[in-house]
Structure 1
Amino acid sequence: MNSQWQRRRQPDDVPTPVAVAVSDFCRRAKAAASPSEVREALALLTEEEDFRVRTLTDTEPEASPLGPFAVIDILRGTAASLASQRQACGYYEVVQELARVHEEKKPDPLPAQPAVPTFAAPPPRPAPAGEASAEGSQGKDGKASRSGAPTVQERIAPRKRATEAEAPEPFESEDDAPRFLKRDLPKPRGRFTQVAAPKGSYQTLVRAEGKDVLEPAIEQNEHRFALLKSLAEQYNGSKGELKMPDVESVLRLHDLLDPLADRERQAILAAYTEHRGAAGRVAWALGLSPSELQRLISTLQLQQEVEDVRERFRREALGSRQLTQRLDMLGRDKYLVDLGIKKRFSEMLRKDLEALVDDELPDAQSLSGLAEAVSRKHGAPQELVLRAIERLGLADSLREQLGADSDHSLP
């Protein structure tokens, strides 16, 4: 009896989930116990036996009352009915006291011996050249001293700090510098174990008090996808994890879906107007993925309104006659691709730029001079004109024409 009621670990090392499960099992077995008593009982088991505890506590008690030490007795092979009788007659109170006595009689561990340093003493600091020659030629008693041996005066003299010339050079690269790695600390155990808070039931959102939970959550989240992410951290769904159909169902039940949908429509149309029809920027501004944005637009039936906004900005980009604005738009590849007009815009600008360059080509001597002439005549920056010539594939043909014209002009 004595050997099986000895501690295998400290009570604080018992995982909190296991202790909570045993406490709940004892409560259902009509023998509620304090947390300290539960941990003292589980300290009689090793870590490898914790899974057996969870297997037992996940079932309904076969008899009552059953305390935490009765749970340990059942795991040792005792029948549940016999453990219940022992619990009723006070048998496990004696067992608990016996376990404490065993722990008190256990000898204290021997104190650790201080480690003996294994490093060698630092070598003596060499004396200056002048003093070494004078001291080394003759000792205090008139005899020649040993070469290189420091004198008593040198050993007790204060050490000088290194000057700027003697200071160590900085590391040439980060790879040469010493790296201090973070030590891997053990995971928290026992009472310090971090356990996620249990999620609330989906029925809480369905009941009348669920409206008091949903209204503040709607005010804090701009759309239903953000609302789903917020609620999924606190509540379960009807079938496991909380899903979008669950959220839409409870919103519809409490008459909150239509006000949220109106706010989502306004936010989407305002974002498309602010970002000039670029769907990628709209999704980023609203905190949505592109697929979630398209799904939300489809749910709200905003396809036509969104397409009208995008078409307005397409016509504006293609119909602009101001050269500087068009050259600047050429550098915004992602925006043009998003609107679906990159190829059409590039072809239109190429034709117009060819006509402008042909007018200035006879008087130009170089490609940069040609770009400068076009920019001066039409009020556009020279860098944008030169970049457009390179990007639209006109540079090679223009260099050939300029080279041919210079050859013909030679005497």
Structure 2
Amino acid sequence: MTSLWHRRRQPDDVPTPVAVAVSDFCRRAKAAATPTEVREALALLADEDDFRVRSLTDTEPERSPLGPFAVVDILRGTAPELASQRQGCGYYEVVRELARVREEKAPPAPAPTGLTFAAPPAAPSPSSETPPEGSTARAGKSARQAAETLQSRIAPRRREPLAETEPYEAEESVSFKRALPKPRGRFTQVAAPKASYQTLLHVEGKGILESALAQNEHRFALLKSLSEQYNGAKGELGLPDLEGALQRHELMDRLTSRERQGLLAAYTEQRGAAGRVAWSLGLSPSELQRLVSMLQLQAEVEGVRERFQREALGTRHLTQRLDLLGRDKYLADLGIKKRFTEMLRKEMEDLARGELPDAVDLPGLCLAIARKHGAPQELVLRALERLGLSEGLRKQLLAHSNHSSP
């Protein structure tokens, strides 16, 4: 253990974007850390490992909690499950203290051994053959000061460690760049003038619309793309103007057919979650509802959502149900969060009641339930705490142990 956890660079040398990415990853993994702790952990990695850090932090955490030292441990080959267990039992607190102690006991860097450059003595003035004693003393003092100044300028400087600050999310970006005046005259940047809406209604407008249709999935993206180049009939290009041009060139049916297929495929891919469908298509929730209404897909969309509602409520394996418990936004989007939570609470109460006589403590109870139903112990314990059952079970186990003891 001691050979692995040693610093390979100073914490201040860690790039700020990498540290911010790790801080955000730990926040999503339910183990928020201070900037100092993040930099101390990343100091255990070399500079060439920063790209591996970004590859890990760009994905969603597989387990939780995971702190910055757990991230380093995962990059060294440790399984995320083991790293999460180590995070929970305080293993990485010992690692952090060990790395700090090893850094303090490391021998100091050798002092630079270089020649001291002294300023040459000042040549005597030809006008005075015998300078006074005071001028000689002043000349020697000036030479010593010049030598000390030159020596301090060429000596290496050691940066002091930064004081512990607030997390990265609370930091305000400070720019020291001088504010430059806006360009004027021939250097002024002016947006290109927009063409008239009538251009889209002419014969050449069909080719423009066909090219734009090939690059955009739905009418709202098409409108955003064309509004940067064309004006509408009454100012800005609007959706009625665009739909009129598409109908004039007989392109509306093609767009509608592609929108219907893409929308239903997105609902199926996102398992009925309307919020994630809107995000994947680049739409706001109101624009998504408006598009569904325009295409008259309310019945089809509700059918897809009901299918995934039944699938979520009818999941047979305990592990899948416990995993769904942690996806609050998904359950709320489907509209079954309260119903699903009540069903799972009743089920966990029955499972705990069956294993309660043979259990000694809450972790042992969770382990018995996990072994019997093939679920991870951590998920069982997290579900009992989230459902508000852990405190009551602890009291029952304590009362049972006091009653059974002689």
TM value normalised by structure 1: 0.61
Task: Mark the runs of 5 or more structure 2 residues left unpaired by the alignment.
Answer: 1-115, 119-130, 167-173
Greater Rg, structure 1 or structure 2?
1
Q: Equivalent residue for 1:395?
A: 390
Q: Equivalent residue for 1:266?
A: 261
- Which residue among 151, 166, 185 is the counterpart of 1:160? 151
- Which residue among 315, 322, 325 is the counterpart of 1:327? 322
Secondary structure of residue in 2 paired with 1:150: helix
Q: Equivalent residue for 2:121?
A: none
Q: Which amino acid aligns with 1:231?
A: L
Secondary structure of residue in 1 paired with 2:189: coil
Q: Equivalent residue for 1:407?
A: 402
CA deviations on 1:14-64 (whole Å, 9 max, x unpaired) are xxxxxxxxxxxxxxxxxxxxxxxxxxxxxxxxxxxxxxxxxxxxxxxxxxx
How far 1:410 moved relative to its partner? 2.4
- Of 270-279 and 149-158, the range deviating more from structure 2: 149-158
Aligned ranges 1:3-402 → 2 under 5 Å: 150=141, 152=143, 155=146, 159-160=150-151, 167-172=158-163, 181-402=176-397
CA distance in structure 2 between the partners assigned to 1:404 and 1:165 by the alignment: 67
CA deviations on 1:326-372 (whole Å, 9 max, x unpaired) are 00010000000000000111111111111111110001111111101
CA deviations on 1:163-200 (whole Å, 9 max, x unpaired) are 9997452443679xxx7611111111111111111110
CA distance in structure 1 between the partners assigned to 2:353 and 2:345 by the alignment: 12
CA deviations on 1:379-398 (whole Å, 9 max, x unpaired) are 10001000111111111211
**CA distance 1:350–1:154, change in 2 (3 Å):** closer
**CA distance 1:158–1:330, change in 2 (3 Å):** closer
CA distance in structure 2 between the partners assigned to 1:280 and 1:167 by the alignment: 51
Q: Which amino acid aligns with 2:295?
A: L
Secondary structure of residue in 2 paired with 1:186: coil
CA distance in structure 1 between the partners assigned to 2:290 and 2:157 by the alignment: 68
**CA distance 1:365–1:207, change in 2 (3 Å):** same
CA distance in structure 2 between the partners assigned to 1:333 and 1:245 by the alignment: 38
**CA distance 1:202–1:389, change in 2 (3 Å):** same
How far 1:159 moved relative to its partner? 3.5
CA distance in structure 1 between the partners assigned to 2:234 and 2:183 by the alignment: 32
How far 1:142 moved relative to its partner? 10
How far 1:226 moved relative to its partner? 0.4
Q: Equivalent residue for 2:19?
A: none
CA deviations on 1:208-240 (whole Å, 9 max, x unpaired) are 221111110011111000000011111110111
TM value normalised by structure 2: 0.62
Q: Equivalent residue for 1:105?
A: none
**CA distance 1:401–1:191, change in 2 (3 Å):** same
CA distance in structure 1 between the partners assigned to 2:339 and 2:153 by the alignment: 70
CA distance in structure 2 between the partners assigned to 1:339 and 1:204 by the alignment: 44
**CA distance 1:261–1:151, change in 2 (3 Å):** closer
CA distance in structure 1 between the partners assigned to 2:254 and 2:196 by the alignment: 25
Task: Mark the runs of 5 or more structure 1 residues left unpaired by the alignment.
Answer: 1-124, 128-139
CA distance in structure 1 between the partners assigned to 2:396 and 2:165 by the alignment: 51
**CA distance 1:401–1:170, change in 2 (3 Å):** closer
Secondary structure of residue in 2 paired with 1:338: helix
How far 1:160 moved relative to its partner? 3.1
**CA distance 1:409–1:149, change in 2 (3 Å):** farther
Q: CA RMSD of the aligned region, Å?
A: 3.0
CA distance in structure 1 between the partners assigned to 2:261 and 2:324 by the alignment: 28
Secondary structure of residue in 2 paired with 1:234: coil
CA deviations on 1:119-151 (whole Å, 9 max, x unpaired) are xxxxxx9x9xxxxxxxxxxxx9999x8599626
Q: Which amino acid aligns with 2:377?
A: Q
Secondary structure of residue in 2 paired with 1:377: helix
How far 1:154 moved relative to its partner? 7.0
Q: Which amino acid aligns with 1:169?
A: E
**CA distance 1:402–1:181, change in 2 (3 Å):** same
CA deviations on 1:238-279 (whole Å, 9 max, x unpaired) are 111111011011101110000000000010111111111111
**CA distance 1:167–1:352, change in 2 (3 Å):** closer
CA distance in structure 2 between the partners assigned to 1:388 and 1:409 by the alignment: 28
